[in-house]
Chain A
Amino acid sequence: MVWKYLSIAFIVIALSVGGVWVAHGTNIYTKDKVPVITKDEMFGTESTEWKPEFHLGLEFAGPIMAASLIITFFSFRKYKKSLLK
């Protein structure tokens, strides 16, 4: 029975991390800052400043999702085998 819950838990983790990655803009690299545009009234130009804000990238999301899916796969296999016994 523990394999069933383990596989459910890790598929939820994989889907959650994937969802966060998509919601954060499907970046390859994790971003720790986002651009904020400010306008100079005298010259009419725009400049960019950086504000701290976390956006999960594939560099971290990818390995977490891959590991979670592998654990899910083997847990589910164990669960199926335990049902046959």
Chain B
Amino acid sequence: MFLKNLTITISIFLIATVFVLNAGTGLGNGKSGGKKIALNNKVGSNQIKFFSKAPGEDIEGTANGISGNFTLDPSNLEATNGSVTVEVKSMETGSGSRDAHMYSEPWLNEKGFPKITLQIKGMKNVKNVKYDASSGKATANATVFGDFTLHGITTHMEAEITLTYINESDKTKARALGDFVMVTVNFNVHLLEHKILGKAGVVGDKVAEVVNLQASFFGNVQ
């Protein structure tokens, strides 16, 4: 009898341990289940800022033609997945003639590769999870990983993100319906990894070999 009870106890303990180890990190806001989130400029201005710091010139630009959606489970952030697409033609640097060069070959070749895509496959290292019940706002930091396709070449990418989840309220309804999600991402793109060679001698002199991207994505739960 004792042996039977011990076996049952150990089994329950093992099952519980496996369950706990497999469970993802939650935002602690009482929400659960995979929520489909569509990027929406009514929630906030979806934008990617890019910075090139080279000895010859510093360039700062933006891209606004952003669309996409992702699935996020507030009780299991690691299971997040989705995709974001950026129109190359929406990139601008404040100079029409420089933008024309940027769209052309041997730079981004907008005609051949009109879109830049980010395929999100999951999150890891979720930390600094905070939830403020009074404002209905939850935040967390994490590392997002997936595939980044630029100039027709796909590379594995990992980037640090900050996730903000805001419960629907009268304030949010003034912009759009549903809970709001904002993700800020900071990562670097190595031009040569994507075979963006530019004109001879320009990359490394007037255009940095590594371009820093700072993205802000805003969406609402559908």
A interface residues, Cβ below 8 angstroms from B: 27-35, 38, 40, 42-43, 45, 47-48, 50, 57, 59
Contact = CB atoms under 8 A, between A and B. Distances in A.
A59 B95 CA distance: 11
Nearest to A59: B97
Nearest to A26: B57
Given A48-B47, A48-B49, A43 B97 contact: no
Interface of B: 44-45, 47, 49, 56-57, 60, 62, 92-98, 164, 166, 171-172, 175, 180, 182, 184, 206, 216, 218
A38 B93 CA distance: 17
Contacts of A31: 94-95
28 contacts: A27-B95, A28-B206, A29-B97, A29-B98, A30-B95, A31-B95, A32-B94, A33-B95, A35-B62, A38-B45, A40-B44, A40-B45, A42-B166, A42-B175, A42-B180, A43-B182, A43-B216, A45-B44, A47-B44, A47-B45, A47-B47, A47-B216, A48-B47, A48-B49, A48-B62, A50-B62, A50-B92, A57-B95
B171 A50 contact: no
